[in-house]
Amino acid sequence: MLRPQGPAAESSFDLMKLSITIMIVVLLIVFSIAAYVLVRFRRKPDQREMPEQVEGSFKLEVLWTVIPLILVVVLAVPTVKAVFAAGNDHSNDKNAIKVKVTGHQYWWEFQYTDYGVTTAQDLVIPAGKDIAFELSTKDVLHSFWVPSLSGKMDTNPDGTTNRFSFSAPNEGVYRGKCAELCGPSHGFMEFKVKSVSEAEFEKWVNSMKSPAVLPEDPALAEKFKSQCLTCHAMGDMPDMSSAPNLTGIGSRESVAGILLNDDTGVDGAPVLENLKTWLHDTQGVKPGNKMPDPKKDMNLSDEEIDGIAEFLAGYTLD
Q: Which residues bind ligand CUA (CB under 6 A)?
A: 103, 106, 142, 178, 180-182, 186, 189
Q: Is the Cβ of residue 186 or residue 252 nearer to ligand CUA in the bound state?
A: 186
Who contacts 190 (Cβ-Cβ below 8 Å, separation ≥6)? Answer: 175, 176, 177, 178, 254, 257, 258
Q: Is the Cβ of residue 107 or residue 174 nearer to ligand CUA in the bound state?
A: 107
Our CA dihedral for 166, 169, 175, 181, rounded to 10 degrees, sits at: -10
Q: Is the Cβ of residue 22 or residue 141 nearer to ligand CUA in the bound state?
A: 141
Cis upstream peptide for 106 (omega within 30°): yes
Pair type for strands 122-126 and 191-196:
parallel
**Residue 288 C-beta: closest distance to ligand CUA, Å:** 11
**Residue 186 C-beta: closest distance to ligand CUA, Å:** 3
Q: Is the Cβ of residue 135 or residue 300 nearer to ligand CUA in the bound state?
A: 135
Angle at 267 between CA 150 and CA 124, to 5 degrees: 40
Q: Residues, the chain, total?
A: 318
**Residue 183 C-beta: closest distance to ligand CUA, Å:** 7
**Residue 143 C-beta: closest distance to ligand CUA, Å:** 7
Q: Is the Cβ of residue 138 or residue 280 nearer to ligand CUA in the bound state?
A: 138
**Residue 103 C-beta: closest distance to ligand CUA, Å:** 6
**Residue 109 C-beta: closest distance to ligand CUA, Å:** 12
Is 264 buried (19+), middle (13-18) or exposed (0-12) by CB count in 10 A? exposed
Q: What is the sign of the dihedral through the CA atoms of 235, 145, 266 and 302?
A: negative
Q: Is the Cβ of residue 144 or residue 278 nearer to ligand CUA in the bound state?
A: 144
| Distance, CA of 252 to CA of 259 (rounded, Å) | 11
Q: Please, are residues 108 and 135 in contact by the beta-carbon 8 Å criterion?
A: no
Q: Is the Cβ of residue 178 or residue 220 nearer to ligand CUA in the bound state?
A: 178
**Residue 178 C-beta: closest distance to ligand CUA, Å:** 3
| Distance, CA of 180 to CA of 143 (rounded, Å) | 5
- Residue 135 per-residue DSSP state: E
